Structure 1
Amino acid sequence: MHWLKILTPLWAASFLTVAAPLAQAQISGDAVLLEMQKAFRKRDQSALTQMLPQASGHPLEAWAAYWELKNRLETAAADEIQSFLSRYAGTYQEDRLRNDWLLILGKQRDWATFGQVYAKFRMRDDRSVTCYALLADSLQGRSTPGMGQQVRDLWLAQKDADDGCTAAAGQMYAQKLITDADVWRRARVAAENNRQKAARDAVAIVAPEAADQVAQVFASPVKYLAGQSKSRGRERKELALLALIRMAASDPDAAATQMEGGWGAQLSGEERNWAWGVIGKQSAFKLSPDANGYFAKVRRNEDLSDDLLGWKARAAMRAGDWKSVRRAIDAMGPERTDPTWSYWKAKAMLAGRPSAEDKAEARQLLEDTAGSGSFYEQLALEEIGQRVTTPPAPVPLTAQEKAAARANPGLARSLYAIQIGLRSEGVREWNYSTNLHQPGGMGDRELYAAADLACERQAWDRCINTSERIKTFADWSQRFPMPYRDTVLAKSSNIGLDPAYVYGLIRQESRFIMDARSGVGASGLMQVMPATARWTAKKIGMTDFTPGMLNDRDTNITIGTSYLKLALDDFEGSMALAAAGYNAGPGRPRNWRNGPTLDAAIWAENVPFSETRDYVKKVLANTTNYAALITGQPQSLKSRLGTIGPRPASDPETMKDLP
């Protein structure tokens, strides 16, 4: 309260006499909000109703009112809902409740009310609500060009079953705007992802009399196949394909045996290609040398999904089969333009003895992909002879731009929520307030000012994520902040660890949120598990360690950096392997490195866990950018990759005793 210095002692004393109770009242109000959040998560309506009056006038009153009404929304009167929407007009909570109400109205098939509410819905980011809106239009004779394709895309993008998109897909199928092939594809993808209800719902659309058989397919695919005649009817063959897909999930070799033992001959060419694609993918998950051979049995790449084609390309990379890599990428749909596949297509085109035309096309792909952002943008940049450098700082924010960000009520509520411990609510309100599709949505300079405000308040995750959305310039002090710099640099230097690597990992692990907690129990800046922390503390001689000490910033950094250094040493200095070990535990990358010696980029792209695959690439890209910031010199991602192969027989493992 530095401004009290300008008051006379008498006035200061008088102000504090009044301010102390006000501050205490605010603290009490914060406690009410925190308790209401707990009650909402427990669905304790009595507690919510009892505490709601105590939240009146609080800066986050809208959240309290939202929780209380949302918890009983299915039985609330329409007038009460409308009153909430009017009272909190323009806020995130208003539009969030509208979203919730639309889901209920769609399920109830109350299309008249749905249409009125949907017209004012701003977020438009809920697939189920969009499907309900398309279903309502269709049922009321308002079909539009592309409606079937839109429903199909929304439906196929969902892993789990839902009423909105399933009902809309059924309607589009009845109107012949979605085909049998579309519906069976949905069932296949659901089977591959072990989503039994989604698979059953799809089968019920195209073959309702066969829907009950889906449970048998999932319960025992081997038994199901053994009990089926090799009929040529599509329904029988598609159900057999679902069984083969489920079998491949646990034993791709057994599924291959079924295909070669007779089922392959019974399926159509397209069904057979899909089956071999799934078998190849599941074999690739196991990093089996058979994966590329299974994929070679696919006679027409265009029959596969982009996901299956991606795994075909990965398996071919491991096998050094660059022609198959190129053919798989060429057959992709929208995924083909992703930097991942642009980069690997260029590499495939340059393999062997490329023609002048291939060299020119590959060069263009690399130039179009090159940048300093993602893993493949950085690799493409190096392929054209450049390295990662820190971009020039943008034009500084004006006082007016900063003031506008501070005056934004949504941003203010968001930061307040984060400050008192309502992080998930604060993050959602921040994202809503900065979203471009909102009325008065933010342009790049406004996003820049919002990111600056978040950095100033040390809401580092909002600072980074908001800055990353700026399209026309980049401020790396926002995108790659270095809080706790003295501590990180000192701890890293003391154990011979690259501080850029530490910052790259922390940025991916926690976004510098000190109180971050993962669903599996990891905590703090470096997201260390208690058992891992105890093991590491013992290794470095920290005899007084207790798990509660992980909440201390310096201790968390000490334990995290020490563990990272132990992993790096255990993996012969491979940053890619150590990052994978930090994320998935050291045992898994020990197994993943067995097989041929590979360029580390190929190895990383073949990591079978999608989370770890993404993690390794982001940590290494972050590291390269942080190194450019810390050193002020151009940096190479490739120099941090090297090759990865089996551990030398003479090299002992030092982390086998890790719990």
Structure 2
Amino acid sequence: MQWHRILTPLVAGALLAGSVPLVWAQNKGDEILLEMQQAFQQGERKKLEQLLPAARGHALEPWAAYWELKARLEEASEQEVQAFMQRYAGSYQEDRMRNDWLLLLGQRRDWGRFAEQHPYYRMSDDREVRCHALLIEHLLGQASASVAAAVRSNWYALRDADDGCTHAAGTLYGANQLSAPDIWRKARLGMAANRPQVVRNAVEIVAPQALEQIQELLDSPGKYLRNRATERGQWQQELLLLALIRLANGNPDGAAQQLGNRPGVQLSPEQRNWAWGVIGKAAAQNLSGAAPDYFANVTRDSDLSDDLLGWKVRAALRAGRWRAVLKTVDAMRPEARQDNAWRYWKARALLADKPGDSERAAARQLLQDIAGAWGARGFYEQLAQEELGQRITLPPAPAPLSAEEKAAARANPGLNRGLYAILLGLRSEGVREWNYSTSLYQSGGMPDRELLAAADFACQHEVWDRCINTSERTKGAIDIGQRYPTPFRKAVLDRARSAGIDPAYVYGLTRQESRFVIDARSHAGAAGLMQVMPATARWTARKIGLTDFSPGQLTDRDTNITIGTAYLKLALDDFAGSMPLAAAAYNAGPGRPRSWRNGPELDAAIWIENIPFAETRDYVKKVLANTTVYAALFTGQPQSLKSRLGTIGPRDPSAPTVNKELP
């Protein structure tokens, strides 16, 4: 349905006052907003300026004004920026513009104006802005150690090159508040993430004389190591380590050979441990049996990052080395150890080898902490609940929302603008404003009852992704119908049953793929509810005899469900009914899980944790956890996640031939 043809805005003043609910009707001003968004994306400043007067008075006027000013912000006067923020005070657009303005002031090193504006910045979720603010604290001589720690944390968390945190780190390094190892660690992280500019920015801070060698080691790390392996000095050794990281990313066995050569690469014990950790991670991502042995060369786990330690745990799980699992989880930093994945595997490790009473008690406590009050919230929460001997059941429903609670949500101006923008076709803008209104608009975010009412507002207008995501943020009151809705129920059930596939599995996968957004599109080109790629759709359509199909039909609800369920059934058949393997195939293509399954026969939970791609690993976990909840919804009976996992190993030679056509 073309929602933008049936929308009418509220009177702007009434909307901003939050006193009038959203009204749907014909509104020709919507086309102006859509035209302005396109002009903004294409950088057409003159067109934005010409169109802005026609957007005045529209419910989404704050977006129109934001696009026009943002497009020329570098040339705008401070008075214009201040006038914008005063006109739209309290809105998401005001805070978004302040974020942009603070970044620009930071780039200009205009610390006085930055310090004036920063206290009014409500979102406070931009790490680069945070680093600028921390630098000002340093310049004012405030809490040097804590400032340095915060800069380091924010800088390490950024994967791409930036101005704010890099500049702050350089300044603190010059003031002896950050050490050379701090800076070199950022270079290591940048090299591991294949971000050459991040590497250059860090090296320029700590050893600018080494910059000329960076391109050399990027282009040919093996040659660099052969030519310079015996060089000494801190920065020379760090460059050797960067070359090893670069080489290990594509050839871990080659990097191990370089590191093990005699006289060998000249590294400190800490650098050598990091190198073996990187090599072990790369081997583990290749599902190589050599990974645990590479990790065994690490003489001190505390020299490794939590990411490297996580891969050491995965390699140990795959090899069945439970003592190594326990030791490695314990070596993680406290915040990493709190991740439910590592707490679950620690509990399993405690129970693995003839546990005594103390080990059993410690494991049980960990599992109880993970499962919490209701274990159906996620993959490891469900597994923990089953380890405790309980099946997955649904939580009690919260008290129904009152008419007053629902009315308050409908009157919220930010929720109205967000929902209006989404239904108009401005999904990105609408989602951001909706999230801001439920998370940051108020100090501490919305309480549970208000979140439930906001979710209900979205559900009533079938904006299912905001319904789900908003409801998921409640801490005590859990509305399972909001978190796991069943839109298009007849169509899904009919097609799932005709394909011979569990409807709970179809819903679990669709919830993860699109959150039931009919016209969803991925960066890769997948489209519709079940996010089917055009080529895959054409192949599946031919396979099931769907004539006259064209990729443009993928955003048609019924066509998408028909093709998506048919393809999922074909994937399930190809993988002998394994839900984890079929889900991995749906996300990453069938060729990869066919390769990933080779090796030892594994508990499927261990196999899933070892999926090399983080996106696919997370996806499979969520699809299977979703499926278990939907099964409980449909049947009204307690469910088991473990029964849907089973074990995974090489294909049975007696099984039917692989469907090599499956795209």
Q: TM-score range by the shorter chain?
A: over 0.9
Give the match's secondary structure for 1:454.
helix
Q: What per-residue deviation string (whole Å, max 9, x for no partner) do you get for residues 597-625 of structure 1?
A: 10100000000011000000000000001
Give 1:552's aligned residue: 556
Q: How far apart are 1:436 and its partner, in Å?
A: 4.7
The equivalent of 1:406 in structure 2 is 410
Q: 1:515 aligns with which of 501, 519, 537?
A: 519
Maintained 8 Å contact 1:184/1:203: yes
The 3 A distance-change label for structure 1 pair 235 and 641 is: same
Alpha carbons 2:240, 2:265 under 8 Å: kept: no
Letter in 2 for 1:362: A
Corresponding residue of 2:365: 364
Which of the pair has the greater relative contact order for Cα pairs under 8 Å at 6+ separation?
2
Alignment correspondent of 1:70: 70
Instruction: For 1:419 and 1:59, locate their aligned partners in 2 and report how far apart those are by CA, in whole Å.
Output: 13
- Partners of 1:151 and 1:24 lie apart in 2 by 47
Instruction: State how far apart, in whole Å, the 1-side matches of 2:525 and 2:611 are.
Output: 23
User: Partners in 2 of 1:438 and 1:215 — Cα distance?
Assistant: 48
> In the alignment, does 2:32 pair up with 1:32?
yes
Structure 1 residues 229 and 549: alpha-carbon distance in aligned structure 2, compared to 1, 3 A threshold? closer
* 1:3 match: none
Shift of 1:199: 1.0
Give the 3 Å change call, closer, same or farther, for CA 240–122 of structure 1 in structure 2: same
* Paired residues for 1:398-547 under 5 Å: 398-436=402-440, 438-439=442-443, 441-547=445-551
Question: SS at 2:57's partner residue?
Answer: coil
Q: Which runs of 5+ in 1 are unaligned?
A: 1-22
SS class of match (2:261):
helix
Q: CA deviation at 1:121?
A: 0.8
Pairs within 5 Å for 1:191-206: 191-206=191-206
Task: Indicate yes or no: 2:339 matched with 1:335.
Answer: no
Structure 2 distance, partners of 1:593, 1:263, is 39
Report the equivalent of 2:267: 267
- Residue in 2 that maps onto 1:12: none
Tell me what 1:354 maps to.
Answer: 355
**Within 2, Cα distance between the matches of 1:89 and 1:475?**
33
Q: Which residue of 2 aligns with 1:308?
A: 308
Describe the SS at the equivalent of 1:583: helix
In structure 2, do the counterparts of structure 1 residues 232 and 440 end up closer, same or farther at CA, with 3 Å as the change threshold? closer
The superposition leaves residues 378-403 of structure 1 with CA deviations (integer Å, 9 ceiling, x where unpaired) of: 00000001111111100111111111
Return the offset for 1:208.
2.0
Q: Is the 8 A contact 1:264 1:272 kept in 2?
A: no
The answer to whether the 8 Å contact 1:436/1:443 transfers is no
Whole-angstrom CA distance in 2 between matches of 1:39 and 1:91:
22
TM-score by length of 2: 0.94
2:258: which partner in 1? 258
Counterpart CA distance in 2 for 1:587 and 1:194 is 25
Q: CA deviation at 1:415?
A: 0.5
Counterpart-to-counterpart distance in 1, 2:579 and 2:25? 51
| CA distance in 2: counterparts of 1:263 and 1:534, whole angstroms | 58
Deviation per CA, 1:3-26: give whole Å up to 9, x if none.
Answer: xxxxxxxxxxxxxxxxxxxx9995
Query: The residue matched to 2:120 in structure 1 has which SS?
Result: coil
TM-score by length of 1: 0.95
Q: Is the 8 A contact 2:604 2:648 kept in 1?
A: yes
Q: 1:440 to 1:136 in 2, by over 3 A?
A: closer
Equivalent-residue separation in structure 2 for 1:223 and 1:540 (angstroms): 53
User: Which residues in structure 2 correspond to 1:115-264 (within 5 Å)?
Assistant: 115-143=115-143, 145-262=145-262
Q: Output the CA distance in 2 between the equivalents of 1:130 and 1:199.
A: 21
SS at match of 2:217: helix
Deviates more, 1:289-298 or 1:615-624: 289-298
Indicate the percent of aligned positions where both proteins have the same amino acid: 63
* Alpha carbons of structure 1 residues 25 and 355: separation in structure 2 relative to 1, 3 Å: closer
Are the counterparts in 2 of residues 200 and 212 from structure 1 also a CA contact under 8 Å?
no
Contact 1:314–1:605 at 8 Å: present in 2 too?
yes
Change (3 A) 1:53 1:265: closer
What's the offset of the Cα at 1:169?
0.8
Q: What is the aligned partner in structure 1 of residue 580 from structure 2?
A: 576
- Whether contact under 8 Å (2:166, 2:201) holds in the other structure is yes
Corresponding residue number in structure 2 for 1:392: 396
Paired residue secondary structure (1:211) = helix
Distance 2:201 2:144 in 1: 25
Q: CA deviation at 1:263?
A: 6.7
Please state whether the residue corresponding to 2:28 is helix, strand or coil. Answer: helix
CA distance in 2, matches of 1:415, 1:480: 20
CA contact (8 A) 1:123 1:438 kept: no
Q: How many residues align?
A: 637
Identify unmatched segments of 5+ residues in structure 2: 1-22
Residues 105, 114 of structure 2: 8 Å contact kept = yes
In structure 1, how many angstroms separate the alpha carbons of the residues matched to 2:144 and 2:488? 55
Query: Is the aligned partner of 1:621 residue 2:625?
Result: yes
**Cα distance in 1, alignment partners of residues 601 and 172 from structure 2:** 50
AA aligned to 1:191 is M
Report the more deviating stretch, 117-126 or 144-153. Answer: 144-153
Given that 2:343 and 2:366 are in contact with CA atoms closer than 8 Å, whether structure 1 keeps it comes out as yes
- Which stretch of structure 1 is more off in the superposition, 72-81 or 230-239? 230-239
**Counterpart residue type for residue 261 of structure 1:** N
Counterpart amino acid of residue 342 in structure 2: W
**Once the 2 structures are TM-superposed, how far is the Cα of residue 301 of structure 1 from its aligned partner?**
0.8
Deviates more, 1:229-238 or 1:242-251: 229-238
Contact 1:26 1:58 (C-alpha < 8 Å) held by counterparts? no
The letter of the residue matching 1:631 is: T
- Is 1:632 equivalent to 2:626 in the alignment? no
Equivalent position SS for 2:594: helix
User: What's the CA shift for 1:234?
Assistant: 1.4
**What CA deviation, in whole Å up to 9, does each residue of 1:327-372 have, x standing for no partner?**
1111111211101000000001111211221111011101111121
The aligned counterpart of 1:81 is 81
Q: One-letter code of the match for 1:364?
A: Q
Alignment of 1:632-651 (within 5 A): 632-651=636-655
1:226: Cα distance to partner? 2.2
Contact 1:510–1:516 (Cα < 8 Å) also in 2: yes
Secondary structure at the counterpart of residue 227 of structure 1: helix
Report if the CA contact (8 A) 2:225-2:265 is conserved. no
Aligned amino acid, residue 455 of structure 1: C
SS at match of 2:377: coil
Pick from 579, 588, 607: which aligns with 1:603?
607
| Preserved CA contact (<8 Å) 1:586 1:655 | no
Indicate conservation of the 8 Å contact 1:248/1:255, yes or no.
yes
* 2:190–2:199 Cα contact (<8 Å) kept: yes
Tell me the SS of whatever aligns to 1:255: helix
For 2:193 and 2:655, the matched residues in 1 are separated by 39
